[in-house]
Structure 1
């Protein structure tokens, strides 16, 4: 089980012992110093002196531990944040006959369907979340089908981002479509990152099944991985993490990454190597994390107030800078560092979202389509081929 640390009056609650180099923790660690993230071991002595308490389980860097410290102090409340390493951690805490008491937690794209079927979600009264409005919110993230159905709001999108091609412009011409990565000059100079779910939609797209993902038949699934083989043949090494991808680019062992975190160029730049992002015509792999109130919540009014605070422009800008991610509140965009604004190309979001979609996850069980577990197994086979 993950260690927990209470985030009260000024504590970030970041558990250094639990950091693993996945997409979220890579971006958190890389951007923390630049964002002025303060890491403290201070823990308030007791909940009794507070006027409210929240139990939150979420992604490290996205629970407002540093950004909302002043608000917690002013309101006299305490928040205990614990951190999930993956979505299964959250599911395990909420499923079964003896679920853990949580006031707020998060789901990634595609899990809304699973959690709906499991009955884990409470409807959100958006009148208590005024910062989530058509006026404030980037249109794609306002009452979209990933968060709103049956006339009710079930999740509130918090942050979003992308994984896409990263390349060394001194060695490689800018790829404008994925097949450009098959250039013979890139033989042995390409790599993949072990971030399966960020690659799956792209695997379907390059095989011509982007309009069907995540619901692929067995024949389509097999064909997609068959069509991935030429890209595999361009690779000599496999990047076990986002950090490994940065190291491979910096050392010159590779000149391009099939799909990497958006902050990869800023990380290679710190080490003296210029790399760039390219969003090809097929689009990037998008992620979006949403807050939701689980069935075990105790203090729903305070949870709603917390959600509203995370959507304030200033809070959004600080969180996005820490996580090198995109904001959902359009009023936060002018508050972002120039590099971050340019990376997510806010001036042209409509065209960006036309080709980059918010895909869900493969079904947990199905008689017709390849399941999530089968994608996991095949991705493991792909990794094992290196």
Structure 2
């Protein structure tokens, strides 16, 4: 292992690894027990994905037709994917998601990504995908395709429209009547950009100094002190929204709207003046993948236009396939300006802090340490 890798691992592991170690033991220890014949089509596929994004429903027919059995583990944060690799015992994952901001860390720094064989991915094409998602450096570099973007969207304020009017600013959630009625999501890729924005440092994110990071979390502390809870995952957010214990989430995945609807509770999304958090998620094969043939077939099917439309509608987000737009329902087509996708994505996607820093710019580890202190109320 190079000195650079040692330094990166040390920086990231400053997050005491308790959450990652617990997840690796409880969530993926069982996954290591499952093996498949290498390169055999069909068989068992171990997937790590966000709750509701694992294509369990959308690819049911494909699994049945190909004799594929899926074991799916849910992510509660992006750290759940890479943390087990830091322990030196790669988990048995065949396919996992990474947020666009983690591309450089996963591909070039940690080197936990196995390149894809484009000949196995006919749906990954300029004819099928919006230009913003085809062969861009976030997924394609040095002549190799490292991951296939498959869903994109934005996280923003989610609220109960029967309890309050649509917030126009994150500050609206600090009204006295909402004391103890809001929640924060324990997901760095969502909350860190928000912390920077409410502190007036949004344009600098993620290149904030350590002092600026402290200032950002001090400002975000107003929302923490106003909140009922810092939710560990989307399931917890849904439960508190459905039970009526909270009325709004500072910034959340709109997928909880669909899941709340299934429990007869109507939620809505608001777009504050400070902006929603844009993101793109991609499927990749970790270096521990031992069922490449099926993993790549899965990724290819995830880019099928009709599958793309189904998952986008299921989670209130948007497809990367331009051909999928015709399969969306009217409400889903109106949610995004699909004729302006390339322009929207060019406007910029929030990244993550540098894995290591030799200057006063805060590293990823510095942010994690500050986030842990924030959650502890310090």
Shorter-normalised TM range: 0.7 to 0.9
Q: CA deviation at 1:350?
A: 5.8
Partner of 1:228: 220
Structure 1 pair 306/185, CA: closer, same or farther in 2 (3 Å)? closer
Higher relative contact order (CA 8 A, sep 6+): 2
Partner of 2:154: 162
Q: 1:124 aligns with which of 112, 116, 137?
A: 116
Q: CA deviation at 1:376?
A: 2.8
Structure 1 pair 3/127, CA: closer, same or farther in 2 (3 Å)? closer
CA distance in 2, matches of 1:219, 1:285: 23
CA distance in 2, matches of 1:303, 1:236: 41
Q: CA deviation at 1:265?
A: 3.7
Partner of 2:4: none
CA distance in 2, matches of 1:247, 1:298: 36
User: Pairwise mapping of residues 31-180 of structure 1 onto structure 2 (< 5 A)?
Assistant: 53=43, 55-59=45-49, 61-75=52-66, 78-83=68-73, 85=75, 86-91=77-82, 94=85, 99=90, 103-115=94-106, 116-180=108-172
Gap runs ≥5 in structure 1? 7-42
Corresponding residue pairs, total: 344
Structure 1 pair 365/124, CA: closer, same or farther in 2 (3 Å)? same
CA offset digits 1:190-226 (Å, max 9, x no partner) = 4323334311111112222223222321121122123
Q: For the Cα contact (< 8 Å) 1:57–1:90, is it kept in 2?
A: no
Q: 2:304 aligns with which of 307, 312, 315?
A: 312
User: Pairwise mapping of residues 1-386 of structure 1 onto structure 2 (< 5 A)?
Assistant: 1=25, 2=27, 53=43, 55-59=45-49, 61-75=52-66, 78-83=68-73, 85=75, 86-91=77-82, 94=85, 99=90, 103-115=94-106, 116-183=108-175, 186=178, 189-233=181-225, 235-240=226-231, 241-249=233-241, 253-269=245-261, 274-297=266-289, 300=292, 302-344=294-336, 346=338, 349=341, 353=345, 357-368=348-359, 369-385=361-377
Partner of 1:13: none
Structure 1 pair 272/219, CA: closer, same or farther in 2 (3 Å)? same
Q: CA deviation at 1:262?
A: 0.5
CA distance in 1, matches of 2:362, 2:326: 43
Gap runs ≥5 in structure 2? 1-24
Q: For the Cα contact (< 8 Å) 1:5–1:81, is it kept in 2?
A: no
CA distance in 1, matches of 2:57, 2:255: 21
Q: CA deviation at 1:379?
A: 2.5
CA distance in 1, matches of 2:144, 2:370: 36
Structure 1 pair 236/359, CA: closer, same or farther in 2 (3 Å)? closer
Q: CA deviation at 1:165?
A: 1.0
Q: For the Cα contact (< 8 Å) 2:52–2:255, is it kept in 1?
A: no
CA offset digits 1:242-278 (Å, max 9, x no partner) = 4444455455554432112213444555555543211
TM-score (norm: length of structure 2): 0.74
